[in-house]
Amino acid sequence: MQERGNQTIAQQVGGYGEKLAADWLWMKGFDIKERNWRAGKNEIDLVCKQGKEWVFVEVKTRRGRAAMQPEVAVNYKKRKNLMTAANAYVQQYQCDGKFRLDIVAISVSPWGKQMMYFKGK
């Protein structure tokens, strides 16, 4: 994968998707608390609060004619890692209330962008 500056193109695409997702969630009333929060090797793209509920968001962005839809990349292992990181966040910051894991899937092509939001339970 090519690099531009210190980031690969994949990292740039991911960052672009995370910004789109954060802007959209903010417009929907989410309070964005953290971006790219790390717990060891695990990362949460966006830590948000919606009312009294904590929302941990995984953003997947694909460009071009990627064979796989972005949300398919959030497999069992990825969800397990997200849950581990979310539990670490809740413990570290002693968060009260419920929490859930959401997914924002973004496809970017020369014809435009498509964003899909999957709300967790």
Instruction: Answer for the pair 46, 82: CB distance below 8 angstroms, yes or no.
Output: no
Where residue 71 falls among pLDDT bands split at 50, 70, 90? Answer: confident
Pick the closest to residue 56 from 28, 29, 35 (CA basis): 35
What does the pLDDT look like over 76-85, one tens digit per residue? 999 999 999 9
Q: How far is residue 101's CA from residue 86's CA, in Å, rounded to a whole number?
A: 8
- Report the CATH fold assignment for 3-118: Trna Endonuclease; Chain: A, domain 1 (3.40.1350)
Hey, how many other C-beta atoms are within 10 angstroms of the C-beta on 75? 8
pTM of the model: 0.89
> For the chain, what is the largest distance between any 2 Cα atoms, rounded to a whole number of angstroms?
44
What does the pLDDT look like over 29-55, one tens digit per residue? 999 999 999 999 999 999 999 999 999
Where residue 5 falls among pLDDT bands split at 50, 70, 90? Answer: low
Tokens of 93: 């910051």
Q: Where are the domains of the chain?
A: 3-118
Pick the closest to residue 106 from 34, 4, 25 (CA basis): 25
Strand 112-118 versus strand 7-8 pairing type: unpaired
Task: Label residue 66 exposed, middle or buried (CB < 10 Å: 0-12, 13-18, 19+).
Answer: middle
Q: Given this model, what pLDDT does residue 109 score?
A: 82
How wide is the angle at C-alpha 43 spanned by C-alphas 40 and 45, nearest 5°? 160
